[in-house]
């Protein structure tokens, strides 16, 4: 119980719970939409989904300040690749949160002469670019972990049995290299759960902006389940900070 209280006292914890509820409602409403006699349930689920989305926008007000501070910290990193990826990702998050704040102001009636569709598109693009840079960071970290995991291991072995011909030797060599690569890749992720969780989370999050931008059309069910998986990972990393990629 103490852990739950501590979790819900954090703004990130409340946001993750709201987000999980939002995408769970999206998934359930999609599953029940075409079933007879479920119209009222679907309407209630969509209303809850909308309320969760509005609540999350309220929680995110002022988050652009945290993103600015994160950008300042990232630009000080000594590793050029991490510095570039994280600085670019956080700067796009700054723009995303600004657009998100404008959309919230429009939704509550504080601003009326704003083109909501254009601002939503801008927010989606900034969110998409931020996710791409975070994924680039994940790939770079995985590459580094694989290099560390691969130290001391043979990357190539001359396989095959004498007399079976060069084609078989070549084929066995390729299979051995592939086996070594997959083994190192698996061990790198297994020994570094934060990298694995962050990569899965970012891949799941990509589906929503891809759909909104028209790059990869899908349905609310897919977006709902991917968003729910991402939200659960977010809840885990907030509850267990050791699993959050630093």
Q: Both 182 and 203 in a single domain?
A: no
Q: What is the pLDDT of residue 171?
A: 67
Q: Both 228 and 132 in a single domain?
A: yes
Q: Both 156 and 42 in a single domain?
A: no
Q: Which helix (H) or strand (E) holds 133?
A: helix 116-150
What dihedral angle (degrees, nearest 10) is formed by the CA atoms of 213, 217, 219, 221? -80
Q: Both 110 and 26 in a single domain?
A: yes
Q: Both 185 and 237 in a single domain?
A: no
Q: Both 136 and 174 in a single domain?
A: no
Q: What is the pLDDT of residue 59?
A: 77
Tally Cβ neighbours within 10 Å of residue 43: 11
End-to-end CA distance of the chain: 27
Domain assignment of residue 187, given as a range: 152-191
Q: Both 141 and 156 in a single domain?
A: no
Q: Both 156 and 235 in a single domain?
A: no
Q: What is the pLDDT of residue 115?
A: 86
The residues of the chain scoring below 50 in pLDDT are: 156-165
* Cα dihedral sign, 126-127-132-137: positive
Q: What is the pLDDT of residue 116?
A: 87
Q: What is the pLDDT of residue 6?
A: 60
* Total domain count, the chain: 2
Q: Both 64 and 176 in a single domain?
A: no
Q: Both 186 and 95 in a single domain?
A: no
Q: What is the pLDDT of residue 55?
A: 82
Q: What predicted TM-score, i.e. pTM, was given to this entire model?
A: 0.85
Q: Both 181 and 201 in a single domain?
A: no
Q: What is the pLDDT of residue 157?
A: 47
Q: Both 70 and 111 in a single domain?
A: yes
Q: What does the alpha-carbon distance between residue 74 and residue 89 come to, in Å, rounded to a whole number?
A: 10
Give whole-number Cα distances, 209 to 37, 114, 130, 149, 212, in Å.
32, 21, 11, 34, 5
């Amino acid at each position: 119980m103490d852990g739950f209280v501590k979790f819900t006292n954090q703004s990130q914890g409340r946001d993750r719970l709201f987000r999980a509820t939002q995408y769970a409602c999206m998934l359930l409403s999609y599953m029940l939409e075409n079933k007879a006699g479920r119209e009222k349930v679907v309407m209630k689920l969509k209303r809850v989904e909308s309320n969760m989305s509005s609540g999350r926008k309220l929680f995110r007000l002022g988050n652009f300040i945290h993103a600015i501070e994160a950008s300042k910290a990232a630009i000080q990193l000594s590793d050029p690749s991490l510095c570039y990826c994280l600085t670019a990702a956080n700067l796009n998050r700054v723009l995303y949160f600004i657009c998100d704040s404008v959309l919230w102001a429009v939704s509550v009636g504080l601003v009326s002469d704003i083109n909501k569709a254009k601002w939503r598109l801008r927010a989606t693009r900034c969110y998409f670019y931020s996710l791409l840079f975070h994924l680039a960071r994940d790939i770079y970290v995985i590459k580094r972990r694989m290099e560390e995991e691969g130290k001391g291991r043979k990357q190539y072995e001359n396989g095959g049995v004498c007399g079976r011909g060069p084609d078989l030797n070549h084929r066995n060599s390729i299979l051995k290299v592939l086996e070594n690569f997959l083994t190192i890749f698996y061990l790198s992720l297994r020994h570094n759960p934060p990298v694995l969780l962050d990569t899965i989370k970012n891949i799941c999050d990509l589906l929503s902006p891809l759909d909104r931008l028209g790059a990869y059309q899908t349905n609310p069910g897919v977006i709902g389940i991917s968003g729910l998986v991402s939200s659960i990972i977010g809840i885990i990393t907030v509850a267990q900070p050791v699993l959050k990629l630093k």
